[in-house]
Amino acid sequence: MEFFQQLLNALSLGAIYALIALGFTMVYGVLRFINFAHSDVFMIGAVVGSLLGNHLPLGTWWGGLVCLLGAMAVCALLGVIIERVAYRPLRNSPRLNVLITAIGVSLLIEYLFQNEHVFGAAPRSFPAVFPSIVWQWQGLTLSSSQLIVIGVALVLVVALELIVYRTRIGTAMRAVSLNPRAAQLVGINPNVVVTFTFALGSALAGAGGVLYALNYQSVEPLMGVMPGLKAFVAAVLGGIGSIPGAALGGLLIGGIETFIGGSQFSTYKDAIAFALLILILLFRPTGLLGRRIPEKV
Amino acid sequence: MLSVTDLSVAYGAIQAVNGISFEIPRGAIVTLIGGNGAGKTTTLQTISGLIRPRAGSIRFNGEEITRLAPHEIVARGLCHVPEGRLVFANLSVAENLALGAYLQKDKAVIERTREHIFTLFPRLKERLKQAAGTLSGGEQQMLAIGRALMGQPTFLMLDEPSLGIAPRLVSTIFEKIVEINRVEGLTILLVEQNAHLALEVSSHAYVLETGQNKVSGPSAELRDDPRLKAAYLGG
């Protein structure tokens, strides 16, 4: 039973990592850089969720959904703005410039939100917008919030899969990711694809932020840093650029962290995730599901 | 149909194309020939909007297209089959063709074009489900041309269609290029290192040398031009 309990915990933590990792991997797929500000979009998702939650009735399904969708919408818009303002002017600069800019944007958001007129550095409690029910069965404890996390993540991943493989804009995303130049020559506007990718990835991060805050019942400006880094490891583990890889990587990192956290080595649970990053980069830089990009002639 | 005037393109301090001008009448096959680094590929990439020129003007059907983005130029019926083919290696032949029709809305037209491409290149129909990256060089070239045709172009730019292709397939591909021009009336701008072949299929040729156009004329005359014979036609 202990094992199943841990598995359940692993699944709900892994689902959140997967949601964030998807954004990292999608942006990498079309622009080949790591958007470090993604972790902060995740945090803003939680902040927006808590602000909305304070004006919504607590413990209802519709209230919870409004809170979730509202946070996703705000984050989608924010992601688009960040790309427009900070990254697009650097589209033709060396990747390193964009990477450093991303770190700058990340720090800017983190310290802006620590200002007491914006949000403040102290953690605030997250309103219980969804109904909270706890089921007990044969020593297994299942809370509705865990179920919501897993359920929402599942729905979003399936929706994303459908968008990417079944729609016109999804096809354009894949084309840009495979070969940006050829994509332009068949008439795809890369700017539209990039904007859409940022909106989609940021909406997922926003959902992840609300779900994370729901589980831990607290919000603070630096809350995105650790989950963001772990999701980055998850994206690399799964194979950066690969959507199924990001989902798998998220679940694996969630699993590793939960099971190590429950063992005698619990102090090392964070260290192990990053040790894993070093090992992947050394021995399998393409990750589990990543493809080696063929050298172009 | 396409007129390029005083076009100059530079990569940083390196001047790749230096004030070239040429004119391509509707229905013609015109070729740009020249050695490595002469600026042929750069010229095509500038026409299709991938590179911004430093100076000069490009007009297509009388409209200034010099500052347009590649997708806007494709939408006007000017398609570019790039050097190295650039097929979407991980996608199937069918998916590559479908992407070629990205801007096309009419399903019936798309289907008709597809069938037409299969009559031009039956090999593509046999390989429909296969990943494009696993095709031979010649088949990839067929796919790249097919993908461009899916965009309903009126003007086609082909960059080194013979590069890295088995000699047997080169002649097939050139026959098809001529067929596309004769039967469908597509205007073609052909960039080719194989000057013999290029002069054979084209009506008019421009010779580029270090980004400049010194020699041009009807292809039939250039075939006997002593200046070309020494440099490009192997004496």
- Chain A residue at shortest CA distance from B48: A185
pLDDT in tens, A160-188: 999 999 999 999 999 999 999 999 999 99
Average pLDDT, chain B: 92
DSSP string, B174-201: HHHHHHHHHHH--EEEEEES-HHHHHHH
Q: Do A294 and B133 touch (CB under 8 A)?
A: yes
Q: Do B99 and A175 touch (CB under 8 A)?
A: yes
Q: Do B151 and A187 touch (CB under 8 A)?
A: yes
All residues of chain B having their beta carbon less than 8 Å from the beta carbon of residue A164 are none
Q: Is the pTM of this model over 0.80?
A: yes
A269 CA to chain B: closest CA distance, Å? 37
- Give the integer Cα–Cα distance in Å for A124 and B114: 60
B80 close contact with A: CB closer than 8 A? yes
Bridge partners (DSSP) of residue A219 are: A124
- Chain B residue at shortest CA distance from A183: B99
Taking residues A44-59, report their average pLDDT.
Answer: 94
- Chain B residue at shortest CA distance from A188: B71
Q: Do A187 and B80 touch (CB under 8 A)?
A: no
* Amino acid, res. B31: T
- Chain B residue at shortest CA distance from A167: B102
Taking residues B82-108, report their average pLDDT.
Answer: 93
Q: Where does the pLDDT of residue A294 fall: very low under 50, low under 70, confident under 90, or very high at 90 and above?
A: very low
Count of structural domains, chain B: 1
Q: Where does the pLDDT of residue A87 fall: very low under 50, low under 70, confident under 90, or very high at 90 and above?
A: very high
Optimal mutation site among A166, A185, A296, interface B, most CBs of chain B within 10 A: A185
Q: Do A186 and B147 touch (CB under 8 A)?
A: yes
User: What was the pLDDT predicted at B233?
Assistant: 64
Q: Do B71 and A175 touch (CB under 8 A)?
A: no
Give percent of chain B above pLDDT 90: 78
User: How many other C-beta atoms can be found within 10 angstroms of the C-beta atom of residue B179?
Assistant: 12
All residues of chain B having their beta carbon less than 8 Å from the beta carbon of residue A182 are 82, 86-88
What is the β-pairing status of strands A140-143 and A134-137? antiparallel
Instruction: Judge contact between A184 and A45, C-beta under 8 A.
Output: no
B201 CA to chain A: closest CA distance, Å? 25
Q: How far is CA B228 from CA A133, A285, B195, B214, B220, in A?
A: 85, 50, 9, 11, 12
Among A36-40, A267-271, A284-288, the range with the most confident prediction by mean pLDDT is: A36-40
- Give the integer Cα–Cα distance in Å for A46 and B19: 57
All residues of chain B having their beta carbon less than 8 Å from the beta carbon of residue A171 are 98-99, 102
A292 CA to chain B: closest CA distance, Å? 11
Residue B10's domain comprises 2-231
Instruction: Judge contact between B65 and B76, C-beta under 8 A.
Output: yes
Whether residue A149 has pLDDT greater than 50: yes
Whether residue A233 has pLDDT greater than 50: yes
Q: How far is CA B97 from CA A263, B94, B126, B149, B221, in A?
A: 54, 5, 14, 9, 38
B82 close contact with A: CB closer than 8 A? yes
Average pLDDT, chain A: 92
Phi, psi dihedrals of residue A107, rounded to the nearest 5°: -65, -40
pLDDT in tens, B204-234: 999 998 889 888 889 988 888 877 776 666 5
Whether residue B10 has pLDDT greater than 70: yes
Q: Which of A79, A125, A118 is nearest to A102 (CA)?
A: A79
Whether residue B154 has pLDDT greater than 80: yes
Instruction: Judge contact between B216 and B227, C-beta under 8 A.
Output: no
Taking residues A28-55, report their average pLDDT.
Answer: 94
pLDDT in tens, B30-51: 999 988 888 999 999 999 999 9
CATH number of the domain that residue B112 is part of: 3.40.50.300
Q: Where does the pLDDT of residue A297 fall: very low under 50, low under 70, confident under 90, or very high at 90 and above?
A: very low
Give percent of chain A above pLDDT 90: 73
Q: Do B82 and A181 touch (CB under 8 A)?
A: yes
Q: Where does the pLDDT of residue A270 fall: very low under 50, low under 70, confident under 90, or very high at 90 and above?
A: confident
Q: How far is CA A96 from CA A33, A177, A278, A293, in A?
A: 8, 19, 20, 20
Instruction: Judge contact between A207 and A251, C-beta under 8 A.
Output: no
B132 close contact with A: CB closer than 8 A? no
Q: Do A181 and B88 touch (CB under 8 A)?
A: no
Instruction: Choose the closest CB to A178 out of B75, B90, B164.
Output: B90
Q: Where does the pLDDT of residue A295 fall: very low under 50, low under 70, confident under 90, or very high at 90 and above?
A: very low
